[in-house]
């Protein structure tokens, strides 16, 4: 081999070795690392949705703590099971949780109440995921419950007092198809300026109802908020007006991600919450 060819051969080996060394040191290209954050309605996280208006949030991650007020609910026979995000509040017959409403709740003018629920049909009686107690009235200041339960449908009814207890609203015309043994996202907004309640299921508007002169929601005589049943099904009853009723019962499943806002969220924000929390975000 000539000297020139020998030099070329050595040079080629060095180049090949250098290339092999560099390729072994380089990380493989990950295209996902360059993707922008996934957003819905302009939000990448459910906690970012109207964050300045969120006044209560229960995520039920092994705890009954409200992460906004840093106060806890009290469970009666409750536990934790698989939720829509991590864990959820497991309730059932004679099981429920009580939460003392914060000052911000009692000062609500407009509002949004939103939560996830996965429950079986209850052939015994109505299922009430949330009830704002009125200890002097048969019905609570705000009650949201499944009624008219059938195999493939249910009526979802809402009762509310407003204007210092002088107004009473019954919203009873909204139906939910195939509501059992699946996750549903239930949302209710109330806009005081227009006296309008709007009801959403799984991020989609079901309907609205204008209640003229309703005013601000009534939270007088409200020592507790009940999660899992209605105010008169607790033991003892939380209202002096009645005791347990044979046509009423408990939620038979799991409640998760309860949020209360001090404004009527836009439909786009409700949809974003549904999409983000449904993905665990």
Domain presence at residue 112: yes
Structure tokens given for 88: 């959820």
Domain presence at residue 7: no
Contact in structure between 199 and 187 (CB atoms under 8 Å): yes
Domain presence at residue 35: no
Contact in structure between 249 and 56 (CB atoms under 8 Å): no
**Is it the case that residue 182 has pLDDT exceeding 80?**
yes
Phi, psi (5° rounding) for residue 246?
-65, -20
pLDDT, position 44: 96
pLDDT, position 3: 44
Domain presence at residue 106: yes
- In the chain, the number of structural domains is 1
Domain presence at residue 26: no
> pTM of the prediction?
0.87
pLDDT 10s digits, 25-79: 444 556 555 556 689 999 999 999 999 999 999 999 999 999 999 999 999 999 9
Structural domain span for residue 231:
46-278
Contact in structure between 194 and 139 (CB atoms under 8 Å): no
Residue 22 confidence class, pLDDT cut points 50, 70, 90: very low
pLDDT, position 38: 82
The percentage of residues in the chain with a pLDDT greater than 70, rounded to a whole number, is: 87
pLDDT 10s digits, 91-121: 999 999 999 999 999 999 999 999 999 999 9
Is the model more confident about 33 or about 158? 158
Domain presence at residue 203: yes
* Residue 236 preceded by cis peptide, ω within 30: yes
CATH number of the domain bearing residue 186: 2.60.120.200
Q: What average pLDDT does the segment 130-157 reach? A: 98
């Amino acid at each position: 081999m000539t000297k020139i060819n020998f030099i070329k051969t050595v040079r080629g080996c060095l180049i090949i070795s250098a290339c092999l060394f560099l390729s072994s040191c380089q990380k493989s290209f990950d295209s996902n690392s360059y993707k922008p954050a996934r957003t819905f309605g302009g939000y990448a996280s459910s906690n970012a949705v109207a964050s300045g208006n969120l006044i209560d949030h229960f995520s039920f991650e092994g705890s009954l703590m409200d992460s906004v007020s840093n106060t806890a609910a009290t469970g009666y026979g409750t536990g934790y099971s698989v939720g829509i995000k991590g864990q959820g509040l497991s309730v059932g017959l004679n099981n429920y949780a009580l939460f003392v409403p914060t000052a911000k709740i009692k000062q609500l003018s407009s509002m949004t109440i939103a939560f996830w629920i996965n429950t079986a049909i209850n052939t015994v009686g109505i299922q009430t995921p949330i009830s704002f107690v009125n200890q002097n009235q048969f019905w609570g200041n705000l009650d949201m419950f499944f009624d008219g339960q059938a195999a493939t449908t249910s009526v979802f009814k809402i009762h509310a007092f407003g204007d210092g207890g002088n107004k009473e609203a019954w919203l009873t015309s909204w139906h939910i198809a195939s509501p059992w043994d699946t996750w549903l996202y239930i949302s209710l907004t109330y806009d005081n300026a227009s006296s309008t309640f709007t009801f959403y299921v799984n991020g989609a508007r079901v309907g609205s109802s204008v209640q003229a002169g309703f005013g601000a929601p009534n939270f007088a005589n409200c020592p507790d908020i009940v999660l899992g049943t209605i105010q008169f099904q607790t033991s003892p009853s939380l209202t002096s007006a009645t005791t347990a009723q044979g046509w009423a019962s408990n939620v038979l499943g799991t409640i998760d991600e309860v949020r209360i806002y001090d404004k009527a969220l836009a439909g786009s924000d409700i949809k974003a919450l549904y999409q983000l929390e449904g993905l665990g975000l």
